[in-house]
Amino acid sequence: MYFKKILGGFLVLVSFFATAQNKIVVNTDLGKETISKDIYGHFSEHLGHCIYGGYWVGEDSNIPNTNGIRNDVVEALKEIGIPNLRWPGGCFADEYHWMDGIGPRDERPTMINTHWGGVTEDNSFGTHEFLELCSQLDCEPVICGNLGSGTPQEMSQWVEYLNSGNVSPMTDLRKANGREEPWGVKYWGVGNESWGCGGNMTAQFYADNMRRFSTFTKNYGENRLYKVACGPNVDDYNWMETLMKNGNPGGSFQGISLHYYTVCHTWRQKGSATQFDEKEYFTTMDKTLFMDELLRNHITIMDKYDPRNRVGLIVDEWGNWHDVEPGTNPGFLYQQNTLRDAMVASVNLDLFNKYCRRVKMANIAQTVNVLQAMILTQDGEMVKTPSYYVFKMYKVHHDATLLPSDVTCDNYTYEEESVPALSTTASKAADGKIHITISNLDPHNSKEVLCEMRGTEKLSFVTGSIVTGDKINSYNDFGKKEEVSLKEFKDVKVNGNSLTVKMPAKSVVMVELN
């Protein structure tokens, strides 16, 4: 036992605590900020088999469904506590005209999905179907409006259709299509990637257009819109500066987006999702940690123009982007999901938690069958990915109080480059329980981590869980036993207000304490 090893000298114990290489100091009594559950949000676009075959199979399908929506997918997403869902895009949003997706399905016009595979979009999944999905998931809808190829009138009427209880043409149209009461949709994106696929605009041109479109998106009844302006691509700090200076923050928009994808190599050749070596694993960890610098720098600009913290930073597209799986449509962005993706998920979620004063929502791309998906489907089968299990583990942080933490740790070094080996979040739930999630990015070495819980005198271990695998490229696939899942973890020793956690290599661990 631990105490037998140090028997004979309390000073030895103090010395060990002081020199531990891997140490987390958690201030349990200094928490002020709330980790919004909306940080754990998701994104679903009309892209590949995310919508069709992922969520939507139609009422006549042999796959068990409720009103055309797959029961297994809904059940799985409810299990991870999905708080919100962003739709219909993505690039698709700025060529989507919402009136094409309402009314009798056999009468809806078709369109060509020019961004994703050049396939015919039959619009059978539209506004009513999406909001039915959100109802089944018990999550908030986040609708991204068409600023690129649409008009202020079109966006204004969509908001009215969704939210108005008044006597009006849009209200009458909604009722004629079977929905008597307004939905009261709160979250509204004013365009998507307007610097790129959403119109190739300059920052100032977008700021002017965003203010114009925002003027005509009205509040109805007691519902207050939370409008998300299109923010910067990665480190375009000029875009952020322009929008915060000239976009009427807090008035025309209450949130501003940020997009950053972790790409191992180059956009032309991103690398395989499953066939990669340690060099590629290390590069992925290094590149995903760039999110810390991005958040810090963008928040600094936001603080300059919005010292009252009225505007939220909304990271509504993030995650790993690999090459598509061999033999699949390159425009469908179908990729497998390994333990490496799970590590990327935990690191980014820790960073969003860290900056939760500003980061009020995030949406991983994408929920089903696309990019860093939670779920993969194949006809009537479904697979939960390693990333899914990280999101399930991190449910403990939803709407919890962030506990300030300081980390001292080894580096994970590959050749001559290094990154911190540990990533962590500590929070306190409404019932007083403390949760610590720790990731060990080192694929070779376990880490004994000392956690000093300042502000409390005595702790007790309640439960723990772990996500890991035999290899960095372990993954779950159809027709085989899961290689990565959420399992019980007990390698925790508590002594007063401190605990030691023995972290296996390449693992994510959650510890619950009383």
> In terms of pTM, does the model score above 0.85?
yes
Residue 292 confidence (pLDDT): 98
pLDDT in tens, 175-208: 999 999 999 999 999 999 999 999 999 999 999 9
Listed by start position, the domains of the chain span: 2-30+403-513, 37-241+311-398
Residue 299 DSSP class? H
pLDDT in tens, 465-510: 999 999 999 999 999 999 999 999 999 999 999 999 999 999 999 9
Residue 457 confidence (pLDDT): 86
As a whole number of angstroms, the distance between CA 94 and CA 116 comes to: 13
Residue 451 confidence (pLDDT): 97
pLDDT in tens, 252-288: 999 999 999 999 999 999 999 999 999 999 999 999 9
Q: Is the model's pLDDT at 135 over the cut of 70?
A: yes
Residue 403 DSSP class? P
The encoded tokens of residue 290 equal: 């760039």
37-241+311-398, what's its fold?
Answer: TIM Barrel (3.20.20)
As a whole number of angstroms, the distance between CA 389 and CA 487 comes to: 10
Question: Burial, 110: exposed, middle or buried (Cβ in 10 Å; 0-12, 13-18, 19+)?
Answer: exposed
193 labelled catalytic = yes
118 Cβ neighbours under 8 A, 6+ residues apart = 112, 331
Residue 7 confidence (pLDDT): 37
Active-site annotation holder among 45, 140, 160, 317: 317
Other C-beta atoms within 10 Å of 444: how many?
9
Q: At residue 285, what is the residue type?
A: M
CA torsion through residues 396, 398, 404, 407, sign: positive
As a whole number of angstroms, the distance between CA 118 and CA 209 comes to: 28
Q: Phi/psi at 243 (nearest 5 deg)?
A: -70, -40
Active-site annotation holder among 181, 193, 293, 488: 193
**For residues 478 and 381, is the Cβ–Cβ distance under 8 A?**
yes
pLDDT in tens, 406-460: 999 999 999 999 999 999 999 999 999 999 999 999 999 999 999 999 999 889 9
Q: Is the model's pLDDT at 231 over the cut of 60?
A: yes
Q: Which superfamily, per CATH, for 2-30+403-513?
A: Golgi alpha-mannosidase II (2.60.40.1180)
**For residues 229 and 257, is the Cβ–Cβ distance under 8 A?**
yes
309 Cβ neighbours under 8 A, 6+ residues apart = 303, 357, 358
Mean pLDDT for the stretch of residues 369-375: 98
Q: Please identify which residue in the block is written with the tokens 């990015």.
A: 441
Residue 21 confidence (pLDDT): 86
Q: What percent of the chain has pLDDT over 70?
A: 96
pLDDT in tens, 292-311: 999 999 999 999 999 999 99
Residue 98 DSSP class? G
pLDDT in tens, 61-107: 999 999 999 999 999 999 999 999 999 999 999 999 999 999 999 99
The encoded tokens of residue 224 equal: 């207050």
Q: Is the model's pLDDT at 4 over the cut of 70?
A: no
**For residues 307 and 243, is the Cβ–Cβ distance under 8 A?**
no
317 labelled catalytic = yes
As a whole number of angstroms, the distance between CA 142 and CA 128 comes to: 14
As a whole number of angstroms, the distance between CA 177 and CA 216 comes to: 24
Mean pLDDT for the stretch of residues 320-331: 96
